[in-house]
Structure 1
Amino acid sequence: MDLFKKLSDEELVALITENNSKAFRTLYDRYWDRMLVKALSTLQSHELAEEVVQDAFINFWRRRQTIQLKYSFHTYIASVVKYEVMTKLANRNKQPLFIEDIAFTNPADHSTQQWLDFDELKDQIQNTILTLPDKCQLVFRLSREEGLTANQISNTLNISRKTVEAHISKAIKTLRISLGSFFM
């Protein structure tokens, strides 16, 4: 198994597409803790966070032969966990109400509308990001979704820090213009 630990994520993913369970286990061990912390920070439930991360890895294993990663495995699994968390939160909010619960609800509760607005805003952001050029999208996602600094992105993509900053500025400007109409 030590041999697998020395392999890059891309090499492990290639082995996984050939049904190599040891390569899968290595990626699982490499990212489990990080993804658990990511899920736990939002869900505030260790049990739900474990379930979400487990589902993300199970889905990856099921799709192993057809999956084509556009970016790194870390970006992929972090995105899957993020969307699994959002799904879990959405499902949690769809729990059926019982008669006893109705008597205690606040008539001025706008949480449903806020949740719908949030979903619409999230879709608007994702659609706007998808309109950006590929390199600009990648830089923006690495910055905002992965939390990398401009220097880290610069080193990772072999581009200058000024180019990274220009891509981020362009993405933010595009988002401001797009979301400006959303808030009007």
Structure 2
Amino acid sequence: MSAYSFFTDNELYLLLVQDNEEAFTILYHRYWKRMLYKAVIKLQSHADAEEVVQDAFTDIWKSRHRIKIQNSFHTYIAAIIRYKVMAKMASNKREAAGYAEDVHTLHAEDNATEQWLSFNELRNEIERSVKALPEKCQLIFRMSRERGMSDKEIARYLNISPKTVEAHISRALKFLRIYINRFVYMLAFAATLLTRA
């Protein structure tokens, strides 16, 4: 048995931040089954639930140097699982429509690039930019755009004020607008170089 087995979740996370793979493995085994059970109940699919939980732990490892846990690790992993489950539930019926709406809202397309920038490329870039948002901001944005919940519904669900919800969504859209516009600019620049070659 590992000496780390008796460490608290937050102690293990502090070790994880220092690239300690053993601490990560212990947290993984400590929470895998619990999170899988929650995901299976919501998704009614063991395969989808496994994918969601695996993605959550992968994200934790990748973001270990930039995410600071405010409360407990349990709260942190539960929140990640919650929004990933919602994203999975929404992906088949709402993803295309929701992201198309965001692309329109953010004015991400322009005439110079729309002929060769595919929707899938842009959608994938939006997904990457959404994942770069702070945890709570990302959760609220996904609840709004992927699940179609109103500000009041999100506020009731998370026990926060509608104004706070509105502020998070506004912050997310501002961030995404900058991120996507930068992406489109880089593509346009690359296209210019290819044209000159």
TM-score bucket of the superposed structures, by smaller chain: 0.5 to 0.7
CA-to-aligned-CA distance 1:96-141 (integer Å, 9 cap, x gap): 8xxxxxxxxxxxxxxxxxx98851154332575158xxxxxxxxxx
Q: Is the 8 A contact 2:69 2:76 kept in 1?
A: yes
Give the count of matched residue pairs. 114
Change (3 A) 1:116 1:87: closer
Code of the residue aligned with 2:19 in structure 1: it is: N
Match of 1:73 in 2: 73
The reply to whether residue 55 of structure 1 matches residue 55 of structure 2 is yes
Match of 2:154 in 1: 123
How far is 1:94 from its partner? Answer: 3.3
Q: Is the 8 A contact 2:36 2:53 kept in 1?
A: yes
CA root-mean-square deviation: 2.7
Rounded Cα–Cα distance in structure 2 between residues aligned with 1:15 and 1:117: 35
CA-to-aligned-CA distance 1:17-50 (integer Å, 9 cap, x gap): 0000110000000000000000000000000000
Q: Is the 8 A contact 2:12 2:23 kept in 1?
A: yes
Matches within 5 A, 1:4-15: 4-15=4-15
Match of 1:18 in 2: 18
Matches within 5 A, 1:1-184: 1-94=1-94, 119-120=149-150, 121-125=152-156, 129=160
Change (3 A) 1:92 1:9: same
Q: Relative contact order (alpha carbons < 8 A, sep ≥ 6): 1 or 2 greater?
A: 2
In structure 1, runs of 5+ residues without a counterpart are 97-114, 132-184
Rounded Cα–Cα distance in structure 2 between residues aligned with 1:58 and 1:125: 30
Identity %: 42
Q: Is the 8 A contact 2:9 2:73 kept in 1?
A: yes
Rounded Cα–Cα distance in structure 2 between residues aligned with 1:130 and 1:4: 40
Rounded Cα–Cα distance in structure 2 between residues aligned with 1:95 and 1:116: 6
4+ aligned runs moved over 4 Å, structure 1:
115-118
TM-score under structure 2 normalisation? 0.52
How far is 1:92 from its partner? Answer: 2.2
Code of the residue aligned with 2:149 in structure 1: it is: D
Code of the residue aligned with 1:92 in structure 2: it is: N
TM-score under structure 1 normalisation? 0.56
Match of 2:111 in 1: none
